[in-house]
Amino acid sequence: MQIDNQLCEIGLSSTEISRFKELMNAAVAHRRAHWEKLSPADQEYWALDMAELARDVGIDRLYAGLRKAWTWNKFLASAAEVRECVPPVPDVVKPRATHDTACPDCSGSGWKFVTRYSEFYRRDERRATRCDCNTRPHRPRKAADAADAAYIAAKVAELDAAFRMRPQRRPYQPKAASSPSPVIPIVAFTAEQIQRRIPMEREEILRCEKQG
């Protein structure tokens, strides 16, 4: 009860005191050999120093600092050593500005086209720039009604008429494979048959020359 009164005097709430005790038990179990070498007075001083550090940085950041101190310190880390390992305070995250999905310029993309005169090209150019619809109140989205449904149906019918496909042709029919040409067998002549065909071939050549 005495240590609880001291923690209350430091400024810890009852919830923080219970969490602080669990954290200190884990730290002592992690370095029990060094803890047992300390005198009761030193143990009390160490616990109170850690309580003041918990009041200043919070239980979560104190736990993160202890875990980091355990990685390089083989002994029971003091409050000053843990303070050096405490992570910095996280920056306050500003709510992200969203673009208006009903914006007529960017349609919620955040980019809009503008036309500017180019001195280099001597003509107007269409360039993309950031839209500022995230800095002004968003427009309420109109609920779809019967008029919108009729307009959409008319546009769909118009597009169907513009992109109507031609009448479907007959399905493709591959050509029938042609019958293979007859294979002329190769006849092997003997030397005697070749000698007998030579005079006949000469006569045929002479006859063709006379006719031609």
Burial class (CB in 10 A: 0-12, 13-18, 19+), 52: middle
pLDDT of 166 > 70? The answer is no
Same domain, 55 and 8: yes
- The arithmetic mean of pLDDT across residues 18-26, rounded, is 86
Alpha-carbon distance of 128 to 64, in angstroms, equals 46
Same domain, 81 and 108: no
- Whether residues 120 and 73 share a domain: the answer is no
- In which domain, by residue range, is 18 found? 2-85
One domain, residues 61 and 112? no
Asked whether residue 16 falls in the same domain as residue 65, the answer is yes
Instruction: Return phi, psi of residue 93, to 5°.
Output: -80, 120
- Do 126 and 59 reside in the same domain of the chain? no
Nearest 5°: phi and psi at 115?
-105, 125
% of residues, the chain, pLDDT over 90: 0
Same domain? For 80 and 31 the reply is yes
pTM, 2 dp:
0.41
Distance separating alpha carbons of residues 51 and 43, to the nearest angstrom: 12
- The total domain count for the chain is 2
Q: Is residue 42 part of a domain?
A: yes
**Residues 6+ positions from 12 with CB-CB distance below 8 Å:** 20, 51, 54, 55
Q: How does the average pLDDT of the chain come out, rounded?
A: 80
Does residue 188 form part of some domain? no
Q: What percent of the chain has pLDDT over 70?
A: 86
pLDDT at 168 over 60: no
pLDDT digits (tens, 9 = 90+) for 39-65: 888 888 888 888 888 888 888 888 888
